[in-house]
Amino acid sequence: MTTHAPIAASPPQGVAAPTELDLESQLVLTAVIMDVRLASAAVKFEVNTAHIPVEDLAEITAPLPLTPTLTPAPYSTPLAATLHRAARRLEVAGLCIGALRDEQGAVCSIGAIRTEATSRAQADDACVVLLEAIQRDFPDVETVPSWNDAQRDPNLPARYLDRAAVLAHSRTL
């Protein structure tokens, strides 16, 4: 078996052998090539998007709507923090009348407390404080559910949950 050694190709007559480029020259050459490619891509983009009406671009570039987040409780006591979170939940979810919760996610005052409480005992304590806060302004109210069912929007129940949170917080100071 015969083996052949590779033959080095020599440049044709009259053509100089290629020289090795230094790093700076390679970077300049690469930058020129990339500029040409980017310019070509920009032209292709303009051609491919020329049919899109400009009015539609406002919808595409509009900022995304922010989703509401619950505010952190300003209270360090667990009972007051629970009542505060319940008020925020009621504002976000909406008011439910005649039940703890409905299919759309709305809650009554007690449903909001039970959702935010860490235990049944904490929920019961929060309901007692809420009833006391309500009875300070409405002495004839006997229960939280009866008062809750007389409301038509979540503003007043949320306000009284906040008042109950302040009352619970003041008792621990």
Q: pLDDT tens digits, the chain, 173 residues: what are they?
A: 556 656 656 666 777 766 788 999 999 999 999 999 999 999 999 888 887 766 655 566 667 676 666 667 788 899 999 999 999 999 989 999 888 888 898 999 999 999 999 999 999 999 999 999 999 999 999 999 999 999 888 899 999 999 999 999 998 75
Q: Which string of DSSP letters, residue by residue, matches 77-101?
A: SHHHHHHHHHHHHHHHH-B-SSSSB
User: Could you tell me the pTM of the whole model?
Assistant: 0.59
Is the separation of the CB atoms in 105 and 94 below 8 Å? yes
Is the separation of the CB atoms in 106 and 94 below 8 Å? yes
| Cβ-Cβ contacts under 8 Å for 74 (sequence gap 6 or more) | 84
The three-class DSSP label of residue 10 is coil
Domain spans of the chain? 23-61, 78-171
